[in-house]
Amino acid sequence: MKLNPNPPSGAAPFTLNVSLCGSRPVPPVDGYPLTFTLAWGDGRRHTRYFCRNDHTYETPGVYQATVCATDGIEGHESCAGFRVKVE
């Protein structure tokens, strides 16, 4: 998994939109959906079954966010991290 959030920085309150599905929706794997877990770096975490997510950072700072995709069969996981700067 590779992520390049655009834009990766902004003024507080800053809403970051993350799309994990590219140009097409992510299909289920053998009928089981992928699970996306997003740890935003500010103590908040979300788990979703869809690939578009957003998060608002209220406080200025530099955050290390992590996104993991897990398949619904064997629990294989792929993760990527990125930095978010909020001014």
Kindly tell me if the per-residue pLDDT of 52 is higher than 60.
yes
Q: Please, what CATH class does the domain formed by 9-19+31-86 belong to?
A: mainly beta
Mean pLDDT, to the nearest integer, of 38-63? 89
Taking the model in full, what pTM does it have? 0.76
Mean pLDDT, to the nearest integer, of 35-61? 88
Confidence of residue 13 (pLDDT cuts 50, 70, 90): very high
Instruction: Enumerate long-range contacts of 3-9, CB under 8 Å, 24 or more apart.
Output: 3/67, 3/80, 3/81, 3/82, 4/82, 5/82, 5/84, 8/82, 8/83, 8/84, 8/85, 9/84, 9/85, 9/86, 9/87
Q: What's the pLDDT at 26?
A: 56
